[in-house]
């Protein structure tokens, strides 16, 4: 299913094709694709080139995957536990060059996630980010130290059948994704 959205201006195909599904197929993601996806994250920009993003990649059936699912709110467990891969998006809290707190680590992480999401889209995959989970629970279950902060989870995989979802989620899956107009977020005229 390709979600057709009303674009007001021209954008590239990757941006046109990206959306966040909840129905994932159980087809595994090829390792080469994951390598390309994280290569995209690797080349994202960051303040001081600190590259504070850290990712834990969990595969359906492994122990880490189960721990991430356990930390999710029930709504997210219902659909995200079908995805072949869950990525725990984390960041290093401190700069390595001076051990100070890195105030832009979350910003840089978000940008790296956006980068890998578009690479995944280009490879025919779909990505659905979520913050509906208990980050401190995930941090504890995975045994991370206090240098790492857990921020969000990404479900990734090939698109599944809408009919595989509970009925209320099927409706959400088919619904249009509303967007503000550019005038609503541009603070001045172009
Ligand atoms: C940081 C972040 C947190 C999100 N948390 C959740 C979540 O917990 N559960 C969920 O179903 N979707 C979640 N989403 C998905 C958004 O609802 C979705 O991206 C938004 O509705 C726009 O739709 P689109 O991605 O299909 O364009 C999250 C997205 C982001 C970026």
Q: From ligand 1's centre to the CA of 171, what distance in Å? A: 16
pTM of the model: 0.97
Q: Which domains does the chain have, with CATH numbers?
A: 27-160 (3.40.109.10)
Q: What is the pLDDT along the chain (190 residues), one digit of tens a residue?
A: 556 668 899 999 999 999 999 999 999 999 999 999 999 999 999 999 999 999 999 999 999 999 999 999 999 999 999 999 999 999 999 998 888 999 999 999 999 999 999 999 999 999 999 999 999 999 999 999 999 999 999 999 999 999 999 999 999 999 999 999 999 999 999 9
What's the sign of the alpha-carbon dihedral 38, 88, 139, 61?
negative
Residue from 86, 131, 176 to probe ligand 1 pocket by mutation (most atoms less than 8 Å from CB): 131
Q: Is 187 exposed, middle or buried (0-12, 13-18, 19+ CB in 10 A)?
A: exposed
Q: Give the bridge partners for 55, in sequence order.
A: 89
End-to-end CA distance of the chain: 34
| Ligand 1 site residues, Cβ closer than 6 angstroms | 19-20, 76, 129-132, 152, 177
């Amino acid at each position: 299913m390709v979600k057709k959205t009303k674009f007001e201006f021209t954008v590239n195909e990757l941006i046109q094709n990206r959306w966040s599904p909840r129905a994932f197929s159980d087809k595994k993601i090829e390792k080469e694709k994951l390598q390309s996806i994280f290569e995209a994250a690797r080349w994202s920009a960051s303040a001081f080139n600190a590259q504070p993003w850290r990712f834990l990649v969990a595969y359906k059936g492994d122990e880490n995957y189960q721990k991430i699912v356990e930390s999710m709110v029930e709504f997210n467990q219902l659909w995200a536990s079908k995805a072949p891969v869950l990525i725990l998006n984390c960041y290093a809290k401190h700069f390595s060059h001076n051990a100070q707190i890195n105030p832009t680590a979350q910003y840089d992480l978000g940008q790296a996630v956006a980068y890998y999401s578009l690479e995944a889209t280009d490879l025919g995959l779909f990505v659905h980010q979520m913050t509906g989970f208990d980050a401190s629970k995930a941090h504890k279950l995975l045994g991370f130290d206090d240098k790492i902060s857990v921020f969000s989870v990404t479900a990734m995989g090939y698109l599944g059948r809408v009919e595989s979802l509970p009925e209320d989620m099927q409706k959400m899956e088919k619904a249009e994704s509303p967007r503000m107009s550019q005038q609503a977020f541009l603070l001045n005229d172009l």
